[in-house]
Amino acid sequence: MKEDPVYIGIEEPADVRRALLESSKNLISLLQENEGRKEQRKQKRQLLAELTNAMNEVKKLTARLKAEMPKVKMSSLPKAAKMAETPGETRKTAPKRYTSEAQKLEHEMAEIEEKLSRL
């Protein structure tokens, strides 16, 4: 028993073809965007790995620098002159908090330079 193919007529085949082509075009643009995002993620991972390596290198160099610096007791350093206070006013200084290790190191470097300038 052989079946004969059945043909169905399509009304306005140009519109159907246009709709199919437009959906194919949209699908291709979505695939291109997805590939772009994949490339961005890959670059981000690569840059993050480079940053991690650089930070590890900075930590190693900082440790080496600290090891090379002479050991100085804090009691042997000259005391800083206290600022004059107005009568009736007492100043309470809160310990400084640094948001990053770089800021802490920068502050320490400024203190060292100040001490050297006084010598």
The pLDDT value recorded for residue 116 is: 80
Has residue 96 been placed in a domain? Answer: no
Token couple for 34: 């997805």
Whole-prediction pTM value? 0.45
Nearest alpha carbon to residue 102 among 55, 34, 66, 42:
55
The pLDDT value recorded for residue 72 is: 73
Has residue 92 been placed in a domain? Answer: no
Q: Which residue positions in the chain have pLDDT lower than 50?
A: 83-85
Has residue 56 been placed in a domain? Answer: yes
Looking at 69-99, list the stretches that DSSP marks H as alpha helix, in order from N- to C-terminal side: none
Separation in Å, CA 49 to CA 5, 20, 106? 61, 44, 25
- Domain count of the chain? 1
Containing domain of residue 52, as a range?
A: 12-65
The pLDDT value recorded for residue 91 is: 54
Cβ atoms within 10 Å of 77's Cβ, excluding its own: 10
The pLDDT value recorded for residue 51 is: 95
